Amino acid sequence: MLVTGLEILKKARAEGYGVGAFNTNNMEFTQAILEAAEELRSPVILALSEGAMKYGGRALTQMAVALAKEARVPVAIHLDHGSSYESVLKALREGFTSVMIDKSHEDFETNVRETKRVVEAAHAVGVTVEAELGRLAGIEEHVAVDEKDALLTNPEEARIFMERTGADYLAVAIGTSHGAYKGKGRPFIDHPRLERIAGLVPAPLVLHGASAVPPELVERFRAAGGEIGEAAGIHPEDIRKAIALGVAKINTDTDLRLAFTALIRETLGKSPKEFDPRKYLGPAREAVKEVVKSRMELFGSVGKA
């Protein structure tokens, strides 16, 4: 069933588990994510970026909304990193049930003002809102304290920001970053900062850039001819700790992209004569589904639908 993001996330934060927001750009990812959720009886958030909406158009948005309605588990259709009021309105018109407005690169007052405007529009039609405060930057353990402070979410500011904007859930910057290169060695999550934020902000917290970039997957991608540098992701134990502290929504995109592409490379490499797309997209879809399932297990959302 199609529900708002807050409906899913309020329960998650209250009960101390996390819900995955998985990005989709096409039919295969959409099916993989929704099938994994149904098979594991897990709530799920289907995330579409502006890039996804541009790439997939109405074919993608309407497929996502229609399948979410039919699903036997709670599903929210979410705009990921909405950059403008116009972009949010477009998502609202398409039937999304959750939108993110990301004005984190603006100064605090502009972020408050722009977020508030989106909250008013979205709430008027029963849609819930994610906002962001702080800069997503791959931070390593040894980075100086004041340098971290300039980038990462300030707990007291977060409290004021949420009170002033009326946003429903908050993306925090606590050391993670997007993509397959999250800093050398073991990328760092600032758990003490997260704990302070969670103590001041009762709303569900959101972790972006949470992919694990699993070494097995990187190796498989390489073995199939893919080229990738010093890839590194967030350790599963650090994710589990973040959920225990108040993170309820965990974004994962990179791991799914890696799995999908590794399987396509592998399949085409083994069968150079193959040109039936279903023969390589099928196994790739299956690989995405497996990654989604293992993330749901890590987040603790299995059986929560």
Instruction: List, by residue number, the catalytic residues.
Output: 80
CA-based end-to-end distance of the chain: 10
Question: Which residue(s) pair with 47 in the sheet?
Answer: 23, 78
Residue 205, phi-psi category: left (phi > 0), alpha (psi -120 to 50), beta (remainder): beta
95, 179, 282, 283: which one binds ligand TD4 (CB under 6 A): 179
2 vs 189, beta carbon nearer Ca ion: 189
254 vs 301, beta carbon nearer ligand TD4: 254
Residue 253 interacts with ligand TD4 (CB under 6 A): yes or no: yes
- The three-point CA angle 45-140-294 to 5° equals 30
Residue 209 interacts with ligand TD4 (CB under 6 A): yes or no: yes
56 vs 300, beta carbon nearer ligand TD4: 56
Place of tokens 């969670």: 198
CA distance 231 to 44: 27
114 vs 253, beta carbon nearer ligand TD4: 253
Window 22-51: residues binding ligand TD4 (CB under 6 A): 23, 49, 51
CA 242 to chain centre: 14
**If contact means CB under 5 to 8 A according to the sort of partner, which of Ca ion, Zn ion, ligand TD4, none does residue 102 touch?**
Ca ion
Q: Please say whether the beta carbons of 250 and 243 come within 8 A.
A: yes
Place of tokens 């589904």: 289
Residue 102 interacts with Ca ion (CB under 5 A): yes or no: yes
**If contact means CB under 5 to 8 A according to the sort of partner, which of ligand TD4, Ca ion, Zn ion, none does residue 104 touch?**
Ca ion
Residue 254 interacts with ligand TD4 (CB under 6 A): yes or no: yes
- Residues binding Zn ion (CB under 5 A): 208
Residue 104 interacts with Ca ion (CB under 5 A): yes or no: yes
Helix (H, G, I), strand (E, B) or coil at 81: strand
